[in-house]
Chains A and B, each alone.
Chain A
Amino acid sequence: MFEAQDITLEAVHTTAQKMMHDGWRFVTQTAVDRGEEGMQLLYHYDRDEEMQHFRLKFQKGDVIPSISDVYFAALLVENENRDLLGLTYQGLVLDFNRTLYLEEAGDPMQAPFCKISTFTKMESEG
């Protein structure tokens, strides 16, 4: 079954460096919108055909350190996440500025995958 080790925003880059140093191959990242739980970014690595996963929990609007300077292979998926989920990365080695798939850079909250929920607080009776 799927198991992922939790990491913090501060540990994203150092974890990538350690994985590179230890000979792990970058497979991809998966961004998941968990609704009220917030956003999650999963980092998938592979070595000797075994996988290791890391889970970053964050809120929309948080700036995520790019690992594309460590794993160049991450540049496409990080740019894709910028386009489709409105994520913001710092330190992308090649930043398409939300035009990898989309024709014009737009408001991140209008990204196709970006869910916007509105909640109305009910006034308590009495």
Chain B
Amino acid sequence: MAKTLIPFGPQHPVLPEPLHLKLVMEDEIVVEAIPALGYIHRGLEGLATRRDFNQMVYVVERVCGICSCIHAMCYCQAIEGLMGLKVPPRAQYLRVIWSELHRMHSHLLWLGLFADGFGFESLFMALWRVRERIMDINEATAGNRVIISTNIVGGVRTDINTGYLQEILRTLKTVEAELKPLYDTMMNDYTVKLRTVGKGVLTKEQAWQLGAGGPTLRGSGWAHDMRTLGYEAFHELDFEPVVETDGDAYARTKVRFREVFQSIDLVRQAIAKLPDGILAVPVKGNPTGEITTRVEQPRGELFYYVYCNGTPNPERVRIRTPTFANIPPLLAMLPGVELADVPVIVLSIDPCISCTER
């Protein structure tokens, strides 16, 4: 049968960012998918060598807006590790609170986009309306909705007062109540299942061998969550990785939706245990040596390698983002699927191209 090459993206209704896939088709079936990147490469790793290590906190936040706080946290952990800095307990808990708020609003953003991707617009609007409550918390606590810039090397730059912590708990109660019926709709609706169950299957073995991360890996049966490493205050909180075993778009959706509830629980635990104390330790001198750090972003494992030579400018900052890891598994999911299912499957890895290209 003759093969046809169909371009998917870089501009496509379901893609919030430019990803281009060259789809080799036989009739309506995908035979091969070849990625083409480079539309938003900004050279941020190169910028690291020209910026002070403190300035780089604000640069890495701009690798990806939607999980900016977690990029900054991972980078700060690397510099703090090189300089032997011990982050105060209150700052560790505050980092957990803001990073879990980020996970919530990132997952809710994706769940809405995903619903919109298969035409369920009322669900999209309902999910984004709930998400606004999380954005309001970010704005009230940090002064901004998305790029909140709360992390600094040695701790955090701002506090959350006791009165507003109670307001966060009240908001989370509302969010939880509003999300439960939406969870039932998204996970039990006949048309949603028709579009997601059995689509883009990634077996457990494939997910590991292809280096998948985050919900893409956990949706294929792996209890692999970097938060279990116990960084910041996670070692004092009670949680288990959310795992589903079917490895399809439905399983990945379920992992993310369940993780929103898990994040609500983690924020509640963190607020309940939040200790008093200072927000940051003083930073003296320049970092020296090399280190790797890993944290769990909404999309999966975020990896930083930092090499410093004792000057204010890092010699090398290497950032491996979760979508960078999840593109090879995506290329394995697509052969054999119908063209109509490609948008849903591409979206199911929650692609972040700003992260991927940096």
Which residues of A pack against B, CB within 8 Å? 1-2, 20, 23, 25-28, 30-33, 42, 44, 49, 51, 53, 71-73, 75-77, 84, 94, 99-103, 112-113
Contacts and interface: CB of A to CB of B under 8 A. Distances in A.
B318 interface: yes
Given A30-B316, A32-B307, A101 B38 contact: yes
Interface of B: 34-35, 37-38, 41, 43, 45-46, 81, 208-211, 224, 226, 228-229, 289-292, 294, 301, 303, 305, 307, 315-316, 318, 320, 324-325, 327-329, 331-332, 357
Nearest to A51: B292
A5 to B, nearest CB: 14
A94 B305 contact: no
The 10 closest A-B pairs by CB, nearest first: A73-B211, A28-B320, A101-B38, A30-B318, A101-B41, A73-B328, A30-B305, A26-B211, A2-B290, A32-B316
Nearest to A96: B36
B226 A49 contact: yes
A77 B39 CA distance: 17
A2 to B, nearest CB: 5
A100 B210 CA distance: 19
Contact of A49 (B45, B81, B224, B292): B224
Given A42-B305, A49-B229, A101-B38, A76 B316 contact: no
A99 B331 CA distance: 18
Contacts of A32: 307, 315-316, 318
B327 A44 contact: no
A1 B291 contact: yes
Contacts of B305: 30, 42, 44
15 contacts: A1-B81, A2-B289, A27-B325, A33-B316, A49-B226, A51-B294, A71-B211, A73-B325, A76-B35, A76-B324, A77-B324, A99-B38, A100-B37, A101-B37, A101-B357
Contacts of B331: 72
Given A28-B303, A76-B328, A20 B209 contact: yes
A53 B328 contact: no
A73 B322 CA distance: 12
B211 A25 contact: yes
B325 to A, nearest CB: 7
Contacts of A42: 305
A110 to B, nearest CB: 14
Contacts of A1: 81, 289, 291
A27 B210 CA distance: 10
A42 to B, nearest CB: 7
